[in-house]
Amino acid sequence: MKAVRREPVDTTPLWIMRQAGRYLPEYQQIRKGKTFLEFCKNPDLAAEATLSAREVLGVDAAILFADLPTILEPLGFGLDYQPGPVIDNPFRIGSTIDDVRELEDVGEMGYVFDTVRKVRKGLPDDIPLIGFAGSPFTLASYAIEGSGSKHYIHVKTLMYSAPELWHEFSSRLARAITKYLIAQLNAGCQCVQLFDSWAGCLGPNDYREFVLPHLKSVIEQVSPHGPVINFLTGNPALLPLCAEAGGEVIGLDWRVDLADGWKMVGHDRAVQGNLEPVVLFAELPTIEARAKAVLDAAAGRPGHIFNLGHGVMPGMNPDHVKALVEIVHEHGSKTNAASDFA
């Protein structure tokens, strides 16, 4: 939280996106015999996954175990996992805004807030809990495409052919996301992250017209309740616009040098990132060298939270993830101590 506020730290803090996941044997044991949705909707199990990952890895924050598309269910979308998320009634050309419910009450997501309270009770007082949600664009993409996509044909067709409907839909999503994140903070999270996992498919003009107003609306309303990490992946050219949308912290993926990315979003923001996730499949000397390069790029400037440029991948060696934590803490203390900002 000191790094979020751009205050000096003894060493660079880190957490890892998808830190509770299939690569961890502890997670596999907890998940055994249950579907993903059953797991997400069981606060005892979701809390155990959140807490065990934080403890096993020794990271400086816990990230809530949940999933991005689950908030689409109370909006009227049928969600299943096969194994990835699939929407059985996607929102397409020909749909109307009346096909989407307005989220009047976040009570249908109560299992998430129960998980938050259980995790907060189980965490040490000095370890923050990070909540999260998908951004309006990323959730819209799930709802419109119906599953993962390479070209986002249905999304872009709706944007270009029915812009008024796009904005109505995005506004409805933005209102739901805002309520959802504020409820997570009220339940016990210290910080929340907005994932724009799919917005990298857009050019700057489309991002400015179709994404920026709705993302900015969410962040402006959530930030008074707790700090927001605004994470975009896939297109560094969008970083200035991403920063314009707001957020106390801007997440950087691995496609940009951290020093360059920080300059693009402004040194008046904290940044998070940005080791290439696949580096963790390499041998330990390579992991150490690449992690140190990220720390050197941050140069000890207050406000750097170390993370991968996106999530941990299945099949990754958990010992390499644990080693990364030790490497960052060791070299981060040296980098911060030797910094001109110390």
Q: Is residue 13 part of a domain?
A: no
Catalytic residue among 23, 27, 142, 180: 142
Q: Is residue 4 part of a domain?
A: no
Q: Which residues span the domain enclosing 53?
A: 25-337
Catalytic residue among 6, 18, 120, 172: 18
Q: Is residue 10 part of a domain?
A: no
**Rounded Cα distance, 86 and 124, in Å:** 36
Report the number of secondary-structure helices (H) and strands (E) in the chain.
13, 9
Return the ∠ at Cα 284 (arms to 282 and 289), rounded to 5°.
90
Q: Does 21 appear as a known binding residue?
A: yes
Catalytic residue among 67, 80, 99, 206: 67
Q: Does 342 appear as a known binding residue?
A: no
Q: Is 80 a catalytic residue?
A: no
**Rounded Cα distance, 313 and 279, in Å:** 11
DSSP letter for each residue of 152-200? -HHHHHHHHH-HHHHHHHHHHHHHHHHHHHHHHHHHT-SEEEEEESSGG
pLDDT by residue for the chain (342 residues), tens digit each?
999 999 999 999 999 999 999 999 999 999 999 999 999 999 999 999 999 999 999 999 999 999 999 999 999 999 999 989 999 999 999 999 999 999 999 999 999 999 999 999 999 999 999 999 999 999 999 999 999 889 999 999 999 999 999 999 999 999 999 999 999 999 999 999 999 999 999 999 999 999 999 999 999 999 999 999 999 999 999 999 999 999 999 999 999 999 999 999 999 999 999 999 999 999 999 999 999 999 999 999 999 999 999 999 999 999 999 999 999 999 999 888 888 886
Q: Is residue 20 part of a domain?
A: no
Q: Does 67 appear as a known binding residue?
A: yes
Q: Is 54 a catalytic residue?
A: no
Q: Is residue 80 part of a domain?
A: yes
Q: Is residue 16 part of a domain?
A: no
Q: How many domains does the chain have?
A: 1
* N-to-C CA span, the chain: 17
Q: Is residue 122 part of a domain?
A: yes
Q: Is residue 7 part of a domain?
A: no
Q: Is 31 a catalytic residue?
A: yes
Catalytic residue among 6, 23, 27, 31: 31
Q: Does 19 appear as a known binding residue?
A: yes
Q: Does 18 appear as a known binding residue?
A: yes
DSSP letter for each residue of 191-246? EEEEEESSGGGS-HHHIIIIIHHHHHHHHHHHGGGS-EEEEE-S-GGGHHHHHHH-
Q: Does 309 appear as a known binding residue?
A: no
Confirm whether pTM is higher than 0.85.
Answer: yes
* CATH classification of the domain holding 233: 3.20.20.210
